[in-house]
Structure 1
Amino acid sequence: MGKLIQNAMKTLTYESLCFPEDIKARGMEDVPKYYYRDDGKMVWKAIHCFVSAVIKTYYRSDKAVQKDVEIQEFVKDVACFGMNNSDNFPKSLSSREQLVEYLTAVIFTASAQHAAVNFGQFDWYGWIPNSPSTMRKPPPQQKGQVDLKYIMESLPDRECSSKVLGTVWSLTRTQENEV
């Protein structure tokens, strides 16, 4: 899993964390009855409106954003340390609108996006054959070559399965005091 996450981080971009841009980049704007997109856009818009109101109240100008050492250092730290100095993430912000977009992405990713992609995982991954994390035998090359014995010998062992189950269980848990 560590290697998988490292590889994924190489292609992660700031734009992919901005929900509307991500939907557009994946060509999902006009898919009918795509509820993940439809609900996500409403949540993104609500967060964006709230963040925009707070930023417009707190920062009187773009210059105020540029001079805010703490927010600039936060953005720099995310890019340099959180994202391994990736050029795919901004290292500074120069306007209120950029700050609104950035904070909206942070809040959306840590809340609605996290819930959407993680909370249902245990329901699926809790039964290892649904999506095994590893396979101990190569995939069959022809139809009719596989029997139950081959399948059972292919599935991950108990140790690997328990690590995956522990990870997925942690991702899907909600906090006891969560509202």
Structure 2
Amino acid sequence: SWNYAKLCVQIADANHHEMISHLCYTHLVMEPFAIATARQLGKNHPLGLLLRPHFRFLLANGELARSRLLGYIDRLLPGSLEESKHLVKKGYEAWNFKAFAFPTEVENRNMQNAPHYPYYQDGKLLWDAIKEFVRNYLKLYYENVDDVKSDTELQAWADELAAQDGGRVKGMKKYVVDIEELIEIVTNIIFTCGPQHSAINYSQYEYMTYMPNMPLSLYQPVREDAWVKDQNSFTPFLPPRTQAAEQLAILYILSLPYYYDKLGYYKRPFTDPEARKCVKQFQKKLKEIESKKSPYRYLNPQQITNSISM
């Protein structure tokens, strides 16, 4: 039946969402950037000062997930733990830092001209605002190509990210050639840690805690002649009470609006007065986006964190 078909698609979408879109394409792919930033950029390096707030709690959350969430994955998702890990592996094999930059990824799906696609339309406003902020900030410290090429810490950062014995980030070159390339890289990082993760993470509670809408597993064998005509015939396919309660609880916790800081607002202000001006301009732009009529809720700047903090 149509209801049964929709349920199967929703379950597949939920598994892709959790293991690939969420875990792999935000948390895991950003970890090498956090590590390289800590290892290669000095305490007062301008790029390090900009990026560190966007990595806050990322590595700690990753460690917590590895130690405390694997059991939930094993119990709630349809495959074995190894099969769920394989989803992450396949997702990462397809991922590329440059190709999965927000506008490029949408264009690769040929969705950029869709008449009503709030995720892209509101997301593009944020991407452009972040890019303008990053451009204004970086141009304070890099006036020409030579400034970029001669920055040994920056080049060591890029080298570690691209190296096979380092971050192995596909789509990253071992050196940064000019300011425009650096602007694209930094914009991509900030967007992924902020708007992209917020849109994926904080939408989970609304969509995935009502079991008939999006359970994480199907609890009857898949068969072509399945027929769902009423609640009694639908319920057996849904999680039993224990698994349903666990799914609700864990997704409630993951979706809690714990905002250590929000996009564009930094707990430790930049000491450079010109950098502070760039931040103020960025905040003003975010306010304009916030006041947009009928905004996409999960990309409202008021509800976007600076970092992958949950």
What TM bracket, shorter-length normalisation?
0.7 to 0.9
Alignment counterpart, residue 14 of structure 1, candidates 82, 92, 97? 97
For 2:176, the equivalent position in structure 1 comes to 93
Identity over aligned pairs, percent: 26
Q: 1:126 to 1:42 in 2, by over 3 A?
A: same
TM-superposition CA deviations, 1:119-151 (whole Å, max 9, x none): 111111112332222223322311537875664
Please show how residues 4-153 of structure 1 align to structure 2 within 5 Å.
4-80=87-163, 85-144=168-227, 151-153=234-236
Instruction: List runs of 5+ in structure 2 lacking aligned partners.
Output: 1-83, 263-310
Secondary structure of the 1:100 match is helix
How many equivalent residue pairs?
Answer: 178
Q: 1:74 to 1:133 in 2, by over 3 A?
A: farther
Instruction: Measure, in 1, the Cα distance between the counterparts of 2:212 and 2:160.
Output: 40
Q: 1:154 to 1:34 in 2, by over 3 A?
A: closer
Once the two structures are TM-superposed, the CA of residue 165 in structure 1 deviates from its matched residue by: 4.1
Q: 1:139 to 1:148 in 2, by over 3 A?
A: farther
Q: 1:55 to 1:127 in 2, by over 3 A?
A: same
Instruction: List runs of 5+ in structure 1 lacking aligned partners.
Output: none
Once the two structures are TM-superposed, the CA of residue 161 in structure 1 deviates from its matched residue by: 4.7
Instruction: Measure, in 2, the Cα distance between the counterparts of 1:77 and 1:158.
Output: 47
